[in-house]
Structure 1
Amino acid sequence: MPNPEGYVVAATGHVYLAPVDTPAPTPTNVALSAPTTPWAEAFYSGSGENGGDNLPEWGSDGGDLTVLGSWGNHAIRTIQDPLTETLTINVSEVNRDALQLYTGADGGDVAGVFSVKGSEVGKAVEKAVLIVIHDGDVRLGFYAPRVSVTRGDSISVASDDGLVFPLSLTLLDSTTIEDRYQWISEDLFPLESGA
C-alpha cells in the first residue's frame, strides 16, 4: 500500500562529516537529527532564497551496456561498463572546513590566513558523509562510509547571493563496512511484520 510520507520534500537538511569508515547512525538518531560524535556539521549547504537552491545532487557516470553478438545472432550477451556514483554538495559557508575540502589544503597554522600550497591543489580528501533531509516530522538520511572529496565546478559569486563552493564526492568502497551507502529512515523503511 502506498505511503504518503514517502513523498519527501527536501524542506531543510544538514550535511555531516566524519572520519572514513565511521559507522552509520541509528535510524533513531537520524529521526532525531542528532547524530553523535564523531559526526559534525561542518558547513551550511545550499544557497539562494531560503537556501532552496544548489541543494545536494546525486549522479552517476558510466554503466553503459554493450550488446555483443554475431552475424547470426545479434544479441548473445551484454557487458556493462563500471558505474561511478557521485554526490555534489554546494557549500555556502566560508570557513576552514569548507576550504580544506574545496582546495585539498590544510590551510596552514597562521591565525586569520588560509594558505594553499601548490603541492596541495586538487588533492582529494576522504571522509564519511551523512545527509539528513527534513520534511516535517519525516527524516531521511543518506550515509556513505567512504567518499573522495574534490572541488567541483568553479566558486560562484553573486551580488545577491552568498559564495558557493561546489564539492564533488565520489562514493568509494569501504575496507571495513560492506555497504557502499545506505538510505536511513524509521518512517520510510519499516520491516514488514514477519520479515
Structure 2
Amino acid sequence: MIFMIYFIATIKSIETSTQVCNGPLGMISGEIRDWQITASSTLWDTDCHEKHARLYQSGDRAWCARHKSDSEWLQIDLGIAAKISGVLTQGRANKEEYVMSFMVSYSTDAFRWQYLVDRYGNQKIFSANTDSYSVRHNYFDEPILARFIKFHPIQWQSHPSLRVEIIGCQECKQYLGLPPYGKISASTSWPYRRHASCQPEDGYLMSNKGWCSRKRYS
C-alpha cells in the first residue's frame, strides 16, 4: 500500500514537471531580446533579419539565410540555462519559403556544442514544415539543458527561412527572494544613517537606499 502511494505520487510529480516545462521561452513575447538572436548569415532584405525569427512574426518577416546551404544556422541565446523540451517552427509567410527538415545543436557556453541524436547515436533530423504558415511542433525524446540552441536547416522549399519558438522552462529565472527587513548583515556599516540609508538592511535589490561600508578602502 505504501509502495503504491509512493508510485502514484512519483507519477503525479513527473506529470506536473512535464506540464510545467512546456512553456514558450521568450521568442514570441520578446523576452528574448533581438541581440540574443544571431545567425550564420542573413539575406539583404530587411524583412529577413535574424531579429524577425520569432514565431508569428507578421507579413514577410522571418530569418532568411543568405545562401541556400545546409551550413547555415540560426542561434538563440536564452540568457541562462534552461531545460528545453522542444521547438516550434514556421516558414516565411506570403513567400512560400519554409524549412522542411533541420537538425538541432546546443551548448551551455557557446564553445562546446553537441547535436541532438537519435537512439542509434546519429545526428537527429527533425521533420519540419510543409507550408509557410502552419506551426510545426517537435518535442525532444528527452529534455536537454542548454543556454544556446542552434537550428541547422537541411532541406527547404524555395529558400531556408525560419520563425521559431523554444519550449521548456528556466528554473533559475526567478528571484530567490527579497530578505525581510533586518535579515541582512555586513562586515561594517556607516555609523549613522545618510538620508535614512546606509545600513545593511538597506542593501537589497530594488531598494531606494543602499548599504555603505564604514571604510573607504579594502
TM-score (norm 1): 0.26
Larger relative contact order (CA 8 Å, sep ≥ 6): 1
TM-score (norm 2): 0.24
Structure 1 or 2, whichever has the larger Rg, is: 2
